[in-house]
DNA sequence: ATAGTTAGTTAGCCTAACTAACTATATTTC
DNA sequence: GAAATATAGTTAGTTAGGCTAACTAACTAT
């Protein structure tokens, strides 16, 4: 457990850094035609396998109606397959379709390329240090 | 300049971490009644002093019409003061009002509290390492 | 004085978030 | 086994925040 003043300072720094990094990365999304909420849901389906609407809503921390719309948009574009649960007819199971996986990979790579460009301006040692620090502090959620 | 594979890995890690941290912090905004775009603009005005609409749009990396609306919303709520530039009648100068500074401080602190709670679960050394790494990698933009 | 540029606004569209209220299906309870 | 309740998802309507296109007002330069 960290000293309070240091915690304070790092929380502030992390907040600013997160805003800066995502704002920078988001510029890559403008090409992609699929918004960040849709990409994020698609990412869960691609790397985490099929999920119900409710599960997706919980993972993405949005309300069910919001996830309904996100999934509808993905479905209209052919990026997910939908089917009824065989054991519970209320439940809709979503699965990433081939085109969805492809678009996700592409959009994700565009974001990572931008962040990489940002990091490549920095010293190797500093980047390695950041890698180590992130590994230490963040467990593998999301 | 970092090795390509390491850059790759850190970019990915930083991306995930930024998403996670902001998603977590954003929960604090639900109380606040002022949206993130408004808060961010208010932050620029509070810590950076008066700016024109155009300057704000540039800093926040949004288009001028978007910033017009953000500033209008802040003005309606009494969080900013507006005045014409004395030297150029096209220009609108925005300045944080007392109520704006207050709401910003409160909302910002709520976000930082949440991030701090996240960090306080980690080891002191790891948090300090992250602080060092962020200091090294990010210069003081934003 | 007119032509061109710059600052900002208006209008209209989109995504993505919310709440409230609904339908359809499952489950529980009497 | 019927009624009551709970759960999964949808629909409807609102709000914030992003965009482009097209506009007005004001300044600048020729």
Give the model's pLDDT for residue B140.
Answer: 53
Return the residue of B nearest to A116 by Cα: B11
Q: Identify the pLDDT of residue B38.
A: 95
pLDDT on residue B3: 55
Distance CA B20 to C1' D13 in A: 31
Identify nearest nucleotide to residue B30 by CA to C1′ distance. C18
Identify the residue whose tokens are 């979503």.
A94
Considering only residues B22 and B66, tell me which one the structure prediction assigns the higher pLDDT.
Answer: B66
Contacts of A58 (CB under 8 A, 6+ apart): none
Residue A101 Cβ < 7 Å to strand C: no
Q: Does B62 touch chain A (CB under 8 A)?
A: no
Nearest residue to C10, CA vs C1'? B65
Question: Which residue positions in chain A have pLDDT lower than 50?
Answer: 141-142
pLDDT of residue B138: 75
For B23-36, write each residue's pLDDT tens digit: 888 888 877 889 99
Min mean pLDDT across A27-36, B50-59, B97-106 is at A27-36
**B96: three-class secondary structure by DSSP:** strand
pTM: 0.85
Average pLDDT over residues B89-118: 93
B42 pLDDT exceeds 90? Answer: yes
Cα B122 to Cα A1, A140, A141, B137: the distances in Å are 6, 14, 15, 21
Buried b / exposed e over B2-32, threshold 16 CB at 10 Å, is beeeebbbbbbbbbbbbbbbbebbeebbeeb
Contacts of A41 (CB under 8 A, 6+ apart): A56, A60, A67, A70, A71, A74
* Of B138 and B109, the one with more pLDDT: B109
Q: Are the C-beta atoms of A129 and B133 separated by less than 8 Å?
A: yes
Domains, chain A, ordered by start: 4-138 (1.10.10.10)
The reported pLDDT for the residue numbered A33 is 78
Find all residues with CB under 8 Å of B11, minimum gap 6, and list them: A112, A115, A116, A119
Q: Per-residue pLDDT tens for A20-34?
A: 888 888 888 877 778
Task: Identify the burial level of A113 via C-beta atoms within 10 angstroms of its C-beta, where 0-12 means exposed, 13-18 middle and 19 or more buried.
Answer: middle
How many Å apart are A99 CA and C14 C1'? 22
Give the pLDDT confidence score for residue B5 in this predicted structure: 83
pLDDT of residue A142: 45
Q: Give CA separation, A49 vs A35, A42, A97, B119, in Å.
A: 20, 10, 11, 30
Work out the average pLDDT over B113-129: 90
Q: Helical H runs in chain B?
A: 4-26, 29-32, 36-48, 53-60, 64-76, 98-119, 124-137
Report pLDDT for B6: 83
pLDDT higher than threshold 50 for residue B142: no
**Rounded CA separation A2/A93 (Å):** 43
* Closest chain B residue by Cα to residue A120: B1
Q: In chain B, what percentage of residues exceed pLDDT 90? A: 63
The pLDDT of residue A3:
55
pLDDT (0 to 100) of residue A139: 66
Residue that is written with structure tokens 């300090």 in the block: B128
Q: Report the C-alpha gap between B58 and B142 in whole angstroms.
A: 12
What pLDDT score was predicted for residue B92? Answer: 96
* Torsion of Cα atoms, A86 then A87 then A89 then A94, to 10°: -60
């Amino acid at each position: 457990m960290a000293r309070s003043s240091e915690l304070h300072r790092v929380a502030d720094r992390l907040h600013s850094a997160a805003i800066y990094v995502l704002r920078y990365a988001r510029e890559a999304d403008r090409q992609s035609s699929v918004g960040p909420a849709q990409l994020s849901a698609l990412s869960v389906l691609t790397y985490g396998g099929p999920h119900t609407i409710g599960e997706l809503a919980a993972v993405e921390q949005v309300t069910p109606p919001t996830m309904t719309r996100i999934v509808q948009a993905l479905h209209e574009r052919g990026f997910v397959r939908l089917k009824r649960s065989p054991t519970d007819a209320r439940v809709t199971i979503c699965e990433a379709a081939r085109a969805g996986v492809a678009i996700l990979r592409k959009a994700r790579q565009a974001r990572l390329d931008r962040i990489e460009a940002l990091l490549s301006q920095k010293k190797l040692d500093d980047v390695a240090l950041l890698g180590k620090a992130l590994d230490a502090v963040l467990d593998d959620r999301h």
